[in-house]
């Protein structure tokens, strides 16, 4: 099926703050018309919730594993999740 929907919690570890990582993921999500959010965490990681067609979510995860220039991704944890209540992709406050 091409219209299958996937929803994942994506937790990116490494040098991922202060390098434009959230903007990078916002662009990826916008380009692929995905729903969800992204935020920095106090432990230096970046967390995102992403929902949309499976192939588009896979591309988003691929972008998250590489990151923008200057980022050094050491690990990406993926967990199935419930879809976000709202449409669109937003930046949430850091926690």
d(CA 3, CA 44): 35
User: Choosing from 9, 40, 41, 92, which is the catalytic residue?
Assistant: 40
**Residue 80 annotated in active site:** no
Annotated catalytic residue, options 22, 39, 80, 92? 22
- Catalytic status, residue 22: yes
33: DSSP letter: T
CA-CA-CA-CA torsion for 46, 23, 16, 59, nearest 10 degrees? Answer: 80
Alpha helix ranges (H) inside 37-87 = 54-66
Q: Which residues are catalytic?
A: 22, 40
């Amino acid at each position: 099926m091409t219209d299958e929907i996937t929803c994942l919690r994506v937790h990116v570890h490494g040098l991922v703050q202060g390098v434009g990582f959230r903007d990078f993921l916002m662009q990826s999500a916008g380009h692929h018309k995905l729903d969800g959010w992204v935020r920095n965490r106090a432990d230096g990681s970046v967390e995102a919730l992403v929902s949309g067609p499976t192939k588009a979510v896979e591309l988003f995860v691929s972008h998250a594993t590489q990151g923008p220039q200057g980022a050094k991704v050491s690990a990406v944890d993926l967990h199935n999740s419930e879809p976000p209540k709202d449409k669109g992709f937003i930046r949430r406050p850091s926690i």
